[in-house]
């Protein structure tokens, strides 16, 4: 029977085997292959963060290995630096080069992003071959081995321990990062920039962070490579290696840290096996192995689009759901706003798209403790008004005040920081992340730990508080039983509630709900209405855009009706229901 500790025992067994391998009668060739796998794994772990998790495809990672390798090669051979001193310098060089390159690259989107990485990947490779200090195409030789005291890591089986210690430490650090506040922000990048910005994630910074981190792991790999080979030239840092690293990450399962090691192992073992076996099988020394290798990889990617690691995970004993820390300090809360205080004041807001007036001098107010509904037929300008309030779109004229302060010029992130939380008409959740993690993302602005604390797992108390807050909000909206399920498993109604819990995790002053009842069944709508009333009783202020009249009528305190971008009526639901302009424009038979 599978016990919760089976996975732990399996991991411990694998580590033990890894530790003992060089002591067993294993041919040196295999040790060399394992060393190469270890070095490739370091680059691939970075790619998992960058491409698999962050969604930023890069073909240029081999170039960063080059920066790591050449930094140590030059400093140790020309200036007599100790290799241990060049370790931080090589990794720092990866980061220093990555910063300006990343600033340009991460601004690119769509196919321009991978094309950009191809371009600088090729350019840097040629640069290495042209610089005298780097030995041009001949490279640099005579690089000293790593040493501790008198012991020199000269043999393959001795440097094996150094390489794999770094691989395991880097994998654990990457895993720590992914399970942190910053890691959740990075994981949210795949869903597109708009949603994370609305929870307060600085998307540009998150992209740059992951770009720099991936470059640092590649530079670390380069440092190890230089001291393993003890001679370097530009060839291993070419764009074809960059493509191979990307392939390893994708075949392994680009979203999984341990998949990076698996992918690197698979690709390098497969290549080696084909190089040895194919000439014997088909009796020719012609270079057929690359063709077979390519065909096999295409077949693997066809059969397992998410890579092979998820399939391996299915074969492994299931791990127990993450346990929530029992004691966690409460996060800081905002001071409640007294009921009746004007919170949002939309004052003659105007938005034009070319010649089209989408929002035409619209004014209305949301007071603390109220539920206000914004209704109107298709194309009336509701979503545009919503986007103007949340900073996703900018006013052409007029102003919007929050708690007396103008919102114009503020980014969605800054508006979220003021306490405006939103949901989306088309829910924007991260299906592979658990409900708990999705909701914890909403509390992003309530934590402060950065990358270093996360990687070293020093963010534990704060992380416990963030998760406890997410749990509290999940239970508040009634999704408790689904806490550890992947959000992608939920039905649409539950997903909309999850988005509300995520918005509540921000500790908002006002909730903006974009068509929360769209696509829900009658029973689900009733449950949603009960939840929104309960939130109002607890003092929450809500502005909601809605199409379903019966849902709105029984729920809101105040209704604003738009038609062709213009406010045609506002007041209590009963008054609006009887307004002839509204009946003509929108309500029709419902009124
Ligand atoms: N980015 C844009 N560029 C150009 N026109 C736009 C843009 N966004 C909205 N519009 C136009 O502005 C008008 C108002 O659109 P909006 O999406 O705000 O209406 P809505 O009331 O939310 O409609 P629905 O209920 O269908 O979502 C529409 O005519 C729409 O085509």
> 112-171: per-residue pLDDT in tens?
888 999 999 999 999 999 999 999 999 999 999 999 999 999 998 999 999 999 999 999
Rg from Cα positions in the chain: 28
Is 250 contained in some domain? no
* ipTM of the prediction greater than 0.85, yes or no: yes
Q: Do 202 and 142 share a domain, yes or no? A: yes
Q: How far is the CA of 565 from the centre of ligand 1 (A)?
A: 9
For the entire predicted model, the pTM comes to 0.89
Of the residues 359, 382, 586, which should be mutated to test ligand 1's pocket, given the most ligand atoms within 8 Å of the CB? Answer: 382
Is 248 contained in some domain? no
Is 545 contained in some domain? yes
CB of 354 shorter than 6 A to ligand 1: no
Give the residue whose CA is nearest to atom 7 of ligand 1. 353
Give the residue whose CA is nearest to atom 28 of ligand 1. 379
**Tokens 């190089």 map to which residue?**
275
Choose the final residue of a domain: 182, 205, 237. Answer: 237
Is 328 contained in some domain? no
Q: Do 481 and 527 share a domain, yes or no? A: no
Is 318 contained in some domain? no
Tell me the longest C-alpha to C-alpha distance in the chain: 93
- Asked whether residue 439 carries a pLDDT value surpassing 80, the answer given is yes
Q: Do 578 and 528 share a domain, yes or no? A: yes
The predicted pLDDT at position 94 comes to 97
Mean per-residue pLDDT over the chain, rounded: 90
Choose the final residue of a domain: 237, 272, 298. Answer: 237
264: tokens are 């690197």
Beta strand 147-148 with 151-152: parallel, antiparallel or unpaired? antiparallel
User: Average pLDDT of 514-532?
Assistant: 89
Burial of 318 from C-beta contacts in 10 A (0-12 / 13-18 / 19+): exposed
The predicted pLDDT at position 455 comes to 93
> To which H or E segment does residue 12 belong?
helix 6-20
Q: Do 497 and 352 share a domain, yes or no? A: no
> 484-495: per-residue pLDDT in tens?
999 999 999 899
The predicted pLDDT at position 587 comes to 52
Choose the final residue of a domain: 485, 507, 529. Answer: 507
The beta strands (E) that lie in 229-323 are given as: 231-232
229: tokens are 């080979």
Asked if 162 contacts 153 with a C-beta cutoff of 8 angstroms, the reply is: yes
The predicted pLDDT at position 255 comes to 83
Q: What is the spatial distance between Cα 310 and Cα 225, in angstroms, rounded to a whole number?
A: 29
CB of 86 shorter than 6 A to ligand 1: no
Q: Do 40 and 137 share a domain, yes or no? A: yes
CB of 382 shorter than 6 A to ligand 1: yes
Q: What is the spatial distance between Cα 90 and Cα 99, in angstroms, rounded to a whole number?
A: 14
Q: Do 348 and 494 share a domain, yes or no? A: no
Q: Do 224 and 137 share a domain, yes or no? A: yes
Is 277 contained in some domain? no
Domain count, the chain: 3
Domain that includes residue 150, residue range: 29-237
Give the residue whose CA is nearest to atom 18 of ligand 1. 381
User: Average pLDDT of 12-37?
Assistant: 85
Q: What is the spatial distance between Cα 442 and Cα 448, in angstroms, rounded to a whole number?
A: 14
- Asked whether residue 403 carries a pLDDT value surpassing 70, the answer given is yes
What is the DSSP-derived secondary structure letter of residue 583? I
The predicted pLDDT at position 316 comes to 77
Give the residue whose CA is nearest to atom 1 of ligand 1. 353
CB of 377 shorter than 6 A to ligand 1: no
CA 296 to chain centre: 30
The beta strands (E) that lie in 496-565 are given as: 510-514, 541-545, 558-563
Q: How far is the CA of 381 from the centre of ligand 1 (A)?
A: 6
Asked if 239 contacts 128 with a C-beta cutoff of 8 angstroms, the reply is: no
Burial of 14 from C-beta contacts in 10 A (0-12 / 13-18 / 19+): exposed
The predicted pLDDT at position 22 comes to 80
> To which H or E segment does residue 64 belong?
helix 61-78
Residue of 560, 474, 482, 545 whose CA lies nearest to 514 = 545
- Asked whether residue 232 carries a pLDDT value surpassing 70, the answer given is yes
DSSP characters for 329-347? Answer: PPPP-PPPPPTT-EEEEEE
List the end-to-end C-alpha distance of the chain, in Å, as a whole number: 62
Written in H, E and C, the secondary structure of 174-197 is HHHHHCCHHHHHHHHHHHCCHHHH
pLDDT band at 589 (very low <50, low <70, confident <90, very high): very low
Asked if 561 contacts 576 with a C-beta cutoff of 8 angstroms, the reply is: yes
What are the C-alpha distances in Å from 555 to residues 363, 544, 561? 21, 10, 15
Is 333 contained in some domain? no
Give the residue whose CA is nearest to atom 24 of ligand 1. 378
What is the DSSP-derived secondary structure letter of residue 410? -
The predicted pLDDT at position 286 comes to 67
CA 18 to chain centre: 31
Q: Do 501 and 564 share a domain, yes or no? A: no
Residues shown for the chain:
591
Q: Do 449 and 565 share a domain, yes or no? A: no
Q: pLDDT exceeding 90 applies to what percent of the chain?
A: 65
What CATH number is given to the structural domain containing 567? Answer: 3.40.50.300
Q: Do 492 and 513 share a domain, yes or no? A: no
CB of 384 shorter than 6 A to ligand 1: yes
Q: Do 526 and 496 share a domain, yes or no? A: no
Q: How far is the CA of 354 from the centre of ligand 1 (A)?
A: 13
Is 387 contained in some domain? yes
DSSP characters for 67-103? Answer: HHHHHHHHHHHHS---HHHHHHHHHHHHHHHHHHHHH
Burial of 312 from C-beta contacts in 10 A (0-12 / 13-18 / 19+): middle
User: Average pLDDT of 444-458?
Assistant: 93
Q: Do 463 and 513 share a domain, yes or no? A: no
């Amino acid at each position: 029977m599978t016990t919760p500790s089976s996975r732990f025992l399996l991991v411990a067994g694998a580590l033990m085997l890894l530790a003992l391998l060089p002591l067993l009668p294993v041919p040196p060739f295999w040790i060399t292959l394992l060393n190469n796998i270890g070095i490739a794994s370091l680059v691939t772990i970075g790619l998992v963060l960058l491409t698999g998790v962050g969604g930023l495809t890069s073909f240029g990672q081999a170039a960063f290995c080059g920066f790591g390798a050449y930094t140590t090669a030059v400093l140790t051979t020309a200036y007599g630096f100790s290799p241990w001193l060049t370790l931080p310098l090589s990794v720092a060089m990866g980061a220093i080069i990555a910063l300006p390159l990343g600033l340009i690259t991460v601004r690119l989107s769509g196919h321009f992003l991978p094309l950009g990485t191809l371009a600088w990947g090729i350019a840097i490779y040629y640069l290495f071959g042209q610089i005298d200090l780097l030995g041009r195409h001949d490279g640099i030789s005579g690089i000293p081995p790593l040493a501790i005291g008198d012991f020199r890591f000269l043999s393959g089986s001795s440097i094996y321990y150094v390489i794999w210690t770094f691989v395991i430490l880097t994998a654990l650090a990457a895993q720590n990062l992914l399970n942190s506040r910053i890691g959740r922000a990075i994981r949210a990048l795949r869903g597109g920039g708009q949603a994370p910005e609305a929870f307060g994630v600085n998307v540009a910074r998150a992209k740059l962070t992951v770009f720099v981190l991936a470059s640092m792991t590649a530079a670390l790999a380069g440092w190890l490579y230089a001291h393993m080979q003890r001679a370097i030239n530009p060839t291993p840092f070419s764009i074809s290696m960059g493509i191979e690293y990307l392939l390893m990450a994708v075949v392994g399962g680009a979203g999984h840290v341990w998949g990076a090691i698996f992918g690197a192992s698979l690709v390098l073992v497969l290549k080696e096996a084909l190089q040895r076996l194919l000439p014997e099988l088909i009796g020719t020394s012609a270079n057929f192995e690359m063709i077979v290798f390519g065909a096999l990889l295409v077949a693997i990617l066809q059969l397992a689009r998410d890579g092979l690691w998820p399939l391996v995970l299915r074969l492994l004993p299931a791990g127990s759901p993450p346990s929530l820390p029992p004691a966690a300090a409460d996060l800081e809360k905002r001071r409640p706003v007294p009921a009746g205080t004007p919170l949002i004041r939309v004052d003659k807001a105007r938005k034009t798209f070319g010649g089209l007036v989408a929002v035409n001098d619209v004014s209305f107010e949301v007071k603390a403790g109220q539920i206000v509904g914004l209704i109107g037929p298709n194309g009336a300008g509701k979503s545009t008004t919503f986007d103007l309030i949340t900073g996703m779109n900018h006013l052409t004229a007029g102003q919007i005040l929050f708690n007396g302060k103008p919102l114009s010029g503020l980014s969605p992130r800054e508006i979220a920081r003021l306490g405006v939380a939103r949901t989306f008409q088309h829910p924007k959740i991260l299906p592979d992340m658990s409900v708990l993690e999705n909701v914890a993302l909403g509390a992003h602005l309530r934590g402060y730990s950065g990358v270093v604390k996360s990687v070293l797992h020093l963010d534990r108390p704060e992380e416990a508080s963030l998760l406890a807050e997410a749990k509290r909000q999940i239970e508040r909206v009634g999704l408790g039983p689904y806490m550890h399920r992947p959000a992608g498993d939920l039905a649409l109604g539950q997903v909309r509630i999850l988005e509300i819990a995520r918005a509540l995790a921000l500790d908002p002053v006002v909730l903006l709900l974009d068509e929360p009842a769209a696509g829900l069944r009658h029973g689900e709508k009733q449950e949603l209405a009960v939840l929104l009333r309960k939130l109002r009783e607890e003092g929450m202020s809500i502005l909601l855009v809605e199409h379903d009249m019966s849902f709105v009528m029984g729920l809101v305190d105040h209704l604003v009706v738009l038609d062709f971008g213009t406010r045609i009526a506002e007041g209590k639901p009963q008054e609006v229901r009887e307004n002839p302009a509204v009946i003509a424009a929108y309500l029709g038979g419902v009124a």
